[in-house]
A and B are shown apart, each in its own frame.
Chain A
């Protein structure tokens, strides 16, 4: 019953993140280019443009980091996959790892939140535009929040799959499968 709107929100959220990530990447490039162009050809310094680009990049990185958890894209160096004998033992072990990961993310989330509160209280400003930095510091709270959100989903799903005695399928993979199913239907 609740499944449909949840799924819809989930899909909207994802495409929203993708759009934001794409637009930021493009905008950052254009901003830096404009800055060089104006400095080199018109010989006028353009103050603050680089600052906007750098802070936009911070937002980009943190939005992308949440998405990276969803996609399972974060760099990891597991050797356990080579050592464990079968899929089930791997899945159980991975569930344990995802709990550890979740705890660490939550911890950092709290630290970032503390820092954000400090920033609200002290109001440090950016060097060039004198922009209150809490607008940028909030990106960390947002990013770690999204990371927590997708980590919780991953952890819960892992335990559900273990209790169902099925091989784990990540949310991203199952979304992809649904998409290809839908598109093949529409064909």
Chain B
């Protein structure tokens, strides 16, 4: 391997490790290659960052965050939880499943995992503890489920992946859905086994008719929230709008819903959602700004090609190489959040994946599941720590349960996603007639 590239990787890792903000770590790595490389001026760095930032496609990210924020502030989470609860009231360990399902539905409204933790976790964790669930388990489950927000459309990471790799966002929204459903299934089963030893306080059983009526009533209460993903996906897949435009429609839809129908929003809280959205978007986009600089120098210095040759030097077996890529992503995910991970890994690894005959949409799903898992994998596990904050518990109390959810939930789903391409390609092929590479 080229010594300069190796040195660049070391700079990146060391700076990240000591806690320099990720965007500036990317900048440092880009500047290093710029200085040692053969370039006459740095305008191309600034220009590549600027071009990405001013893209209309990426505009979808602040808009989805905004729409999600408005619905959250309009107390949509409570209604979703009520609905999931009335559906699961007859199941043993039902409250755990309520968490899994309500975060999943919430994920269809919001593009960010943190929003799911804050909205669902703050209601559900105390409720679960009250009913006899272990606090560490409740928190770990909320964290693990919240990652679903990243796999269920709309999703900021999938928008970014599509944009960085020039893959259709519309296809990228569909690709991780089946893996997400598999995760929901795995978590539900694991929930059954993990809660067996806990003494849970179950609600008295209701008759089927009462239950059905209750579900119907709760569905009506949550209807305006549930309509939002339908509107977004309907606009995109019905050929009415691009994903960015659908996001703007979602924002405009959620304002009257939150203000007049759910009555959760006054001017002050509206303004606060607006500027907090802008702040979150800015933090993400600055990461995009610097990572595009890094990606550009990498291309100019042939880094993806070097990585490809290096990996092919280890083995030419497709299965081993795919495992290696996953291992590599796992390590990235251990230290980085999903957005930084996508921005770092996709320009470097997609050429490798394509040379192995992996379709870009399929690879996006692999990256999504893998880096999603990274959000709850220590040492750097932003979603897990955040959930700990919300659930008022510490890492040691959560880590055991988290590892079980990872090893028996995420890892099997990750392997299935990696080795069965149709899991991620089926929906894009079915709904938008996507034509994968290999065919």
Q: Hey, which bits of chain A sit against chain B, CB under 8 A? A: 18-19, 21-26, 28-33, 35-36, 40, 50, 53-55, 57-58, 60-65, 67-68, 71, 73-82, 93-94, 97, 100-101, 104-105, 107-108, 111-112, 114-115, 118, 136-137, 140, 143
**Beta-carbon contacts under 8 Å, B223-260 to A:** 240-241, 244-245, 247-249, 251-252
CA distance A79 to B336 in the complex (A): 11
Taking CB atoms, residues of chain A closer than 8 Å to B31 are 104, 107-108
Taking CB atoms, residues of chain B closer than 8 Å to A50 are 56
Q: Is the CB of A74 within 8 A of B21?
A: yes
Binds A, one of B1-9, B59-67, B122-130: B59-67
B300 at the binding interface (Cβ < 8 Å) = no
CA distance A76 to B289 in the complex (A): 16
Binds A, one of B47-55, B201-209, B431-439: B47-55
CA distance A5 to B122 in the complex (A): 40
Q: Is the CB of B41 within 8 A of A101?
A: no
Select one of B21, B50, B55, B252 contacting A76, CB under 8 A.
B21
Q: Is the CB of A115 within 8 A of B17?
A: no
Binds A, one of B163-171, B174-182, B274-282: B274-282
Chain B nearest CB, measured from A22 CB (Å): 4
CA distance A61 to B27 in the complex (A): 17
Select one of B46, B53, B66, B336 contacting A115, CB under 8 A.
B46
Select one of A25, A36, A115, A137 contacting B274, CB under 8 A.
A25
Select one of A18, A101, A118 contacting B43, CB under 8 A.
A118
Other A-B pairs beyond A57-B285, A62-B286, A114-B43, 11, CB < 8 Å: A25-B62, A25-B278, A28-B59, A35-B245, A65-B283, A75-B22, A75-B340, A77-B380, A79-B335, A108-B31, A114-B41
Q: Can you list 19 pairs linking A and B with CB atoms under 8 Å apart? A: A21-B279, A22-B278, A30-B252, A33-B251, A35-B248, A36-B241, A57-B54, A60-B278, A63-B278, A73-B279, A74-B21, A75-B23, A76-B19, A77-B340, A77-B380, A101-B21, A136-B54, A140-B46, A143-B286
CA distance A52 to B50 in the complex (A): 15
B16 at the binding interface (Cβ < 8 Å) = yes
Chain B nearest CB, measured from A108 CB (Å): 6
Chain A nearest CB, measured from B188 CB (Å): 31
Q: Is the CB of B24 within 8 A of A105?
A: yes
Q: Is the CB of B46 within 8 A of A54?
A: no
CA distance A40 to B240 in the complex (A): 8
